[in-house]
Amino acid sequence: MALLEQWRKIAYDQQADKNKLQRFWAVYFESEKQIYARLLKNPDEVVRGTVKELADKYEISVMTMTGFLDGINDSLIAPNPIEEMEEDTVVNLGFDKELLYKNMVAADADWLYNLEEWNDIFDENTRKELYKEQKRSTTVVKGTKVYANDPCPCGSGKKYKKCCGRNQ
């Protein structure tokens, strides 16, 4: 069974004891925070290695590294083959800084996008702008409501109820 499948079985186990799962995620989030703090100290360095080597480097389990790789994959310049990844699969952690920051915001991971290491990468105004940009991109803007006696938006000149709003 591929590592990612094993990770998801553990991390998203619906039958698991809620307290045990909560402790599992608390430990994971702390490990994740430590890895990101180290990566952000040298944001232009592309860290490479096998899944096992990176787990050893960051002093975490292979399963925790698998979860980390799953989380960062959408922010990488060259995504890793996470679906079929095994311990000896060579992976990279070369991330797009803006995309990583926005993805952290999208995940509501304030413990990550508020890491002090970001201060050396983006100034406060840039971080605020990236934050706003991400939040705006997920805001749903509803169009104006068309009522029965309004002109039809298709441009026919008829009332909406006599054109596109007619029950067919």
Residues 119-145 have a mean pLDDT of: 90
Which contacts of 144-152 are long-range, i.e. CB under 8 A and separated by 24 or more positions? none
Q: Report whether 131 contacts 114 (CB < 8 A).
A: no
pLDDT value at residue 142: 78
Instruction: Mark residue 78 as left, alpha or beta (left: phi above 0; alpha: psi -120 to 50; beta: remaining).
Output: beta
- Dihedral of CA 59/93/76/111: which sign? positive
Q: How confident is the model at residue 167 (pLDDT cuts 50, 70, 90)?
A: low
Of the chain, the percentage scoring pLDDT greater than 70 comes to 99
Residue owning tokens 């169009």: 143
Q: How confident is the model at residue 1 (pLDDT cuts 50, 70, 90)?
A: confident
Answer with the residue of higher pLDDT: 145 or 113. Answer: 113
Res 87 pLDDT > 50: yes
E-assigned strand segments in 38-93:
48-50, 90-92
In whole numbers, what is the pLDDT of the chain averaged over residues? 93
pLDDT value at residue 140: 73
- Residue 36 corresponds to which tokens in the numbers above? 């990101």
Report pTM: 0.80
pLDDT value at residue 168: 47
Measured CA to CA, the distance from residue 55 to residue 37 in angstroms comes to: 15
- Residue 150 corresponds to which tokens in the numbers above? 């309004």
Q: How confident is the model at residue 12 (pLDDT cuts 50, 70, 90)?
A: very high
117-131 pLDDT per residue, tens: 999 999 999 999 999
| Amino acid letter, 120 | D
Per 3-state DSSP, the chain is made up of helix, strand and coil in percentages (nearest 5) of 55, 5, 40
99-110 pLDDT per residue, tens: 999 999 999 999
Q: How confident is the model at residue 141 (pLDDT cuts 50, 70, 90)?
A: confident
Measured CA to CA, the distance from residue 7 to residue 63 in angstroms comes to: 6
